[in-house]
Amino acid sequence: MPNVHPLLVHFPIALIFAVILTDLIGLLSKRENYLRVGTILTLFALAGAIAAVATGLFAEETVWHSEAAEELIETHELLGFVYLGLVVLLTIVRLAFGKRPAGGAGWIGLAIAVIAAAIVSFGGHIGGQLVYRYGTGVMGMQDRQLESGMDDDQTPDDDYEDEEEAEESEESE
């Protein structure tokens, strides 16, 4: 089965920001239609978060990653679970207040959504580091690592830094 995690992660990220936008408009304008749309978007964000976490767990077990990336993978995973928990909490708050989310519950929901957006943004940044710095899940990266003689606890950046150090020592001689 192909790694679909990179395809799915964008939905929960984009949707939580859409929730924030519609909630802000709804709370400031006191137009409940926006708040209802926010509830629907929250349900989609929840579905996206479940899919992203599930495919992330599958990817952790099936795609290549270096030892150097292991700690970062665990942090990325933890942030994914925290985000999922926050979206579950947000969904409960929204559904518990039904058609009356405009009061204090609306602002509480907005605060939860903002925290969730910060968490998922940081998690996304770490996910980007895993791919672009450590080559996690990049097809052929394991073969390139073996061919170059790089240790499993090194990153491509480490190899680049070694080349820079060698050039600097040659220049200073």
pLDDT at 64: 74
pLDDT at 23: 92
pLDDT at 43: 97
| pTM for the full predicted model | 0.77
Residue 137: both structure tokens together: 């899940």
Return the residue matching tokens 């304008």: 29
Question: Alpha-carbon distance 62 to 84, whole Å?
Answer: 22
pLDDT at 165: 65
pLDDT at 155: 54
* Cβ-based burial of 138 (10 A; exposed 0-12, middle 13-18, buried ≥19): middle
pLDDT at 53: 96
Contact 107, 23 (CB under 8 A): no
Residue 88: both structure tokens together: 């579950």
Buried b (16+ CB within 10 A) or exposed e, 123-137: bbebbebbeeebbbb
Chain segment 7-37, per-residue pLDDT in tens? 899 999 999 999 999 999 999 998 889 988 9
How far from 93 is each of 89, 106, 142, 149, 156, CA to CA, in Å?
6, 9, 45, 53, 45
Chain segment 83-135, per-residue pLDDT in tens? 999 999 999 998 887 656 556 778 899 999 999 999 999 999 999 888 888 77
pLDDT at 1: 73
